[in-house]
Amino acid sequence: MAAAETLYHIRPGESPNTYISVAVAAMQQEPFDTLLILPTSRLVHTTRRQLEDTGISFIESSILTLSGYASHVVEKRSGDVTRIGNLEKELIIATLLAEKRYPILDPGQSGGAAIARELRVLFDVLQERKIDYPAALGEAESRKSNEIGLLYSAYTRYLAEERLLDTQTAIIRAADWIRSKKGPKNVFIYGLYEPFPIERDLILALKETAEQFVYAVPYMPDSRCFADDGSWLGIVPEQDLSNQIPPLARYFDEKPLSTGGITITANRYRTPEEELRGIAGHIRNRIEEGSAPGDIMVLFPAIADSIALVKEIFPDFGIPVSTSTGKPLIRSQLAGALLKVLETPAFGFRREDLIALLMSPYTPCHTRQQNISQRLQGSAADILSRKAGVSAGAADWQHRIAAYIHSKETEYAGFSGSRAKHGEAEIRSMRELHAGILSLIEELQRLPDIETLSGHLAAYRDMLERFAFPVFSSTEDDELAIEEEAAFLAFIGVLDRLATAATCIPEKKIPAGSFLSLLTNAVSATRLPTIQNRNAVQVLGIREARHLRTPHLFIGNLTDGALPRLETRLPLCTNLETRMLQTLSGKELLREERYYFLAAIGTATERITLSYPESDGEGVHLRSGFMDGLLEEEDAGRFSHHSRRGRTEHAGKLLSRNEIMPASQLLPSQLNPASVARRINMETYHRRGRAASSYDGIIGDDPAITAALIRRFGSDAVYSVSALERYAACPFSFFAGNVLGIEALPEAEPDLGSLERGNLIHRILYRFFRERTKSNTPHISEENLDAALQEMRAIAGEEIGSYGRRNPIWIVESEKLLGSVEIGPGFLAAFLEYELNLAKSPFVPSHFECSFGLPLLHGDDSVSIPDPITIPLDDASGSIRLRGRIDRIDRTPDGRFCAIDYKTGKTPGYGDITSGKKLQLPLYIRAVELWMGLSGAGGAYYAMKQGEIQCRAVIRDPSADELFAPFVRVRGGASRPLADVIADTLANVGNYLEGIRSGQFPIVSDPGACPAYCQFKSICRFDERRLYEGDEP
């Protein structure tokens, strides 16, 4: 028998064809008793295809990987076993954890779905390496390792009792069966690198029973890439079939490197996207030089991380591509939408989840209104829920939106005419939308909270069927349609696999969250199928390329950490435990990584291009140490002409130089060169220097536009101060918001936003002073301070309670207002202490929330009027009709007054008023003078922030300056007569009205003047280069 046992040492880069041909020859003689084992499924597929191409007959089960052969043997000989994969194994582990016998591994006793994957990886290693766990830990044993050991025993026992077959078990059983029954007569094993102990057992079993046994192992003496020379087989190695050492076989062992005529280049790129574009450009060059796409191979250390970019960029360069794996199913928008059906109720109807469900084109939700089915508009639900302050919870959706609709009904109650009709229509639309949302929530609540896996699957499938999810997009994009169908079939396949897996475990009930976790993990581990095309560029992972052959090889993303990847610690194990288990050390792992890289570059016969990106946009990357000794060059942008995007960008540059004909040859057929030239002209000419064209908001040259603006913003128009201040700050902002009616989405905040917080304080102060005015005690004194504080806290408690929020942040914010033992007296107490100081002045709080030009609401100050105030400007500008609401007016006994505006944010200064940016106080003072016949003494901003409470008298008439002694008197505020300050403000208002009516809406000339937050930032066309072009904006 010894003469029939042969051991060969094969070198990296050596063609497998010589060894495979020996096995094929034996197959021709004894097709049913010959076995060829190859190291990768890719090589198995390639070998079978080559035999088919040459017309050689073979039996598929005679050419397999080692694990594929083991599964074939066990399934053929033991027909009653059930084949399981990683999904089923993780489900079994999670089920065993749910038995509540493992408090360290699963302290929450939730079923352990979160760590089932880590345990499955650990158990696979223990099986593959035949580790006696936890005894192998010796003194490192612990309560945790003992508990893992108990679970591991329960797991292996369960697989045996239920006759479940995973890859590791198949290998073990196949070895036992072959020893007892005998294996194939002729066994040829090629290219296995350092097989695991259980794999060695199977190989030895095949050797012991075969009449002819040939084992070709990757090995070179005196190399840093190999440790396994095959001596464990007990066979003396033969002279290799090939006497030549392939080029690059000594890549890691000799410097300078001898490449044997193979060209090696190394390139550096700035980003992963730029790297893929560079690789694609090189590939286009190879193809144009005559290489067939099928003769080009692209490898990545982790193909899953690069596949999305490959699918995006290679088609842009016109490159046919065949990938070994598809995109992760979890990245499919269709799969995400279907998972959202479960996530929405499982996560407590969070606002973002329900809106995402409504917004997805794959999950359109409908409601019936007057027997007509109407789709719930996700965008409308988004806006409504933001405005209502919805955060999470079915009750939140019900009560908050209902309260918001009620507040709008109250607001519209004072309207008449067309505004009232508009309000009625808006409220009716909100009620219908609210009813539809509540109906959807009720439907989703039908999904069980706790059920068996089979029960969860049945309920979920039933819901998808009732809703007719998913709805495929109606598109002419064939590629998208194919991807959607593939994603749907893959998702259904996951559900089917889970249903099959459910038959492998006891029927125990699990929470909805655990079911969602299991399904999400299964979807995450699933990839979309790909169609293999031998005539396209082949894109693979580095480990898949062993023993393949290609003329042109590219290896990308060669960064330190991606290759070599040196993570040695096992899941749920410390470094000490990992060493005690004698799995791969860092040195051994480095050796293995070297081998796979060496095997990869050994596939090339003509040219090799290695590359790496310097950054991923977040951090800096170092190039892989495997590129040491290679001279690199920066390779950015050299092949942009191969890309549709690159050609279009180049055409734009030509058009900017008026080279129309060359540019038109580069543009896609659907783009008109003249149209593109006009757009470029907008950017290169009209959007530079001073704003002077319609492209920069100067639209008054069109008589029809100016006529429309005058009709809308003429002398009959009623203005608010905020609208005028918006124009003063940024005319473009006024144009977007007040002319076009564009409105940014409200911020979705789980707690009080800045506007809502300000409104809360306004309501508290308004109610407090109104009640005190009724009782004729507006001033705060030492005698009534405690009673006033109790009264204010009672009012604040009622207002806070109206929000219905109970989360921890909200409780803290409430305590900051009301005070507590932990944080002290609170904001309201500090405010009353400050009011006690203001009481030293002759000003008496007299009017609160008094409005003019607005519908009268219940509780408005008695002096409020529905008509706007007409304020004369100068002779040229005429007048302006103003509406507004004044937070507070304090009066003196002799008829002078101070207009006060509460500020919970930034407080403007005197310079803001004199520069014409802030108009509120001067305009409100003049309005009150005309309205009430009082004499203005000044205006103040009342700063109300945590840690800062002060009433800042910003403008004061010099004759009344002493009246403001208890206030914070802003420097310069009394330097000019109040009437002059107001006159300057009115002059500025006249200029703003002229700009509005004449169509002057330019963007700001200096972005430094822009606020930190601007709702129109995403559409603003400011270009910082204007600051450096020499022309004054």
pLDDT digits (tens, 9 = 90+) for 944-989: 887 789 999 999 999 999 999 999 999 999 999 999 999 999 999 9
Does residue 393 sit in helix, strand or coil? coil
Closest CA to 799 of 832, 756, 836: 756
Q: Which residues, 6 or more positions from 116, have their beta carbon under 8 angstroms from its beta carbon?
A: 90, 91, 93, 94, 97, 521
Bridge partners, residue 948, by sequence: 945
Neighbours of 86 (CB within 10 A): 17
Question: What's the mean pLDDT in 484-488?
Answer: 92
- Alpha carbon distance 841, 485 (integer Å): 76
Tabulate helix, strand, coil % of the chain (nearest 5). Answer: 50, 15, 35
pLDDT of residue 1026: 43
Question: What's the mean pLDDT in 344-348?
Answer: 94
Lookup: tokens for 711: 């009709």
User: Which amino acid is residue 1012, in one-letter code?
Assistant: A
Buried b (16+ CB within 10 A) or exposed e, 493-532: ebbebbeebbebbeeeebbbbbbbbbbbbbbebbbbebee
Closest CA to 921 of 978, 994, 959, 850: 978
Cis peptide leading into residue 470 (ω within 30°): yes
Does the pLDDT at position 809 exceed 70? Answer: no
pLDDT of residue 5: 93
Confidence of residue 683 (pLDDT cuts 50, 70, 90): low
- Parallel, antiparallel, or unpaired: how do β-strands 34-37 and 263-269 relate? unpaired
Does residue 849 sit in helix, strand or coil? strand
- Alpha carbon distance 844, 890 (integer Å): 5
Pair 195, 221: CB distance under 8 Å: no
Question: What's the mean pLDDT in 937-950?
Answer: 91
Confidence of residue 673 (pLDDT cuts 50, 70, 90): confident
How large a percentage of the chain has pLDDT more than 90? 56
Does residue 296 sit in helix, strand or coil? strand
- Reported as a single tens digit per residue, the pLDDT across 269-309 is 999 999 999 999 999 999 999 999 999 999 999 988 898 89
Confidence of residue 611 (pLDDT cuts 50, 70, 90): very high
Buried b (16+ CB within 10 A) or exposed e, 478-490: eeeeebbebbbeb
Does the pLDDT at position 646 exceed 80? Answer: no
Q: Is the pTM of this model over 0.85?
A: no
Confidence of residue 15 (pLDDT cuts 50, 70, 90): confident
Lookup: tokens for 630: 């290679």
| Low-confidence winner among 107-111, 412-416, 891-895, 925-929 (lowest mean pLDDT) | 107-111
Does residue 885 sit in helix, strand or coil? strand
Confidence of residue 754 (pLDDT cuts 50, 70, 90): low
User: Which amino acid is residue 105, in one-letter code?
Assistant: L
Q: Which residues, 6 or more positions from 812, have their beta carbon under 8 angstroms from its beta carbon?
A: none
User: Which amino acid is residue 1033, in one-letter code?
Assistant: P
pLDDT of residue 519: 92
pLDDT of residue 686: 58
How large a percentage of the chain has pLDDT more than 70? 91
Residue where the block lists tokens 């803001």: 912
Confidence of residue 749 (pLDDT cuts 50, 70, 90): low
Q: What is the mean pLDDT of the chain?
A: 87
Neighbours of 307 (CB within 10 A): 24
Closest CA to 980 of 957, 960, 954, 952: 957
- Alpha carbon distance 317, 277 (integer Å): 8
| Low-confidence winner among 236-245, 302-311, 329-338 (lowest mean pLDDT) | 236-245
Distances in whole angstroms, Cα of residue 500 to Cα of each of 289, 454, 496: 52, 9, 6
Backbone CA torsion sign across 446, 449, 452, 453: positive
| Low-confidence winner among 180-184, 242-246, 284-288, 385-389 (lowest mean pLDDT) | 242-246
Question: Structural domains in the chain?
Answer: 2-81+167-233 (3.40.50.300), 82-162 (no CATH), 263-326+531-640 (3.40.50.300), 330-524 (1.10.486), 643-686 (no CATH), 703-747+843-1033 (3.90.320), 749-778+780-838 (no CATH)
Question: What's the mean pLDDT in 448-476?
Answer: 90
Residue of 417 and 108 predicted with greater confidence: 417
Does the pLDDT at position 755 exceed 90? Answer: no
Pair 92, 155: CB distance under 8 Å: yes
Question: What's the mean pLDDT in 801-807?
Answer: 67
Does the pLDDT at position 428 exceed 80? Answer: yes
Closest CA to 772 of 844, 833, 843: 844
pLDDT of residue 3: 47
Backbone CA torsion sign across 1002, 1005, 1009, 1013: positive
Residue where the block lists tokens 């360069």: 317
- Reported as a single tens digit per residue, the pLDDT across 564-609 is 887 778 888 988 888 888 887 788 889 999 999 999 999 999 999 9
- Alpha carbon distance 422, 406 (integer Å): 16
pLDDT of residue 238: 84
Task: Tell me the HSE value of 505 on the side-chain side, using a 13 A CA sphere.
Answer: 29
Confidence of residue 372 (pLDDT cuts 50, 70, 90): confident
Lookup: tokens for 704: 């029809």
Cis peptide leading into residue 868 (ω within 30°): no
- Alpha carbon distance 971, 515 (integer Å): 66
pLDDT of residue 748: 65
Confidence of residue 911 (pLDDT cuts 50, 70, 90): very high
Confidence of residue 224 (pLDDT cuts 50, 70, 90): confident
- Parallel, antiparallel, or unpaired: how do β-strands 604-613 and 263-269 relate? parallel
The C-alpha R_g of the chain, in whole angstroms, comes to 39
pLDDT of residue 588: 86
Pair 583, 568: CB distance under 8 Å: yes
- Alpha carbon distance 671, 988 (integer Å): 47
Pair 71, 61: CB distance under 8 Å: no
- Alpha carbon distance 955, 922 (integer Å): 8
User: Which amino acid is residue 1002, in one-letter code?
Assistant: P
pLDDT of residue 476: 64
Confidence of residue 253 (pLDDT cuts 50, 70, 90): confident
Pair 202, 54: CB distance under 8 Å: no
pLDDT of residue 1033: 35
User: Which amino acid is residue 110, in one-letter code?
Assistant: S
pLDDT of residue 693: 74
- Name the DSSP class of 744: P
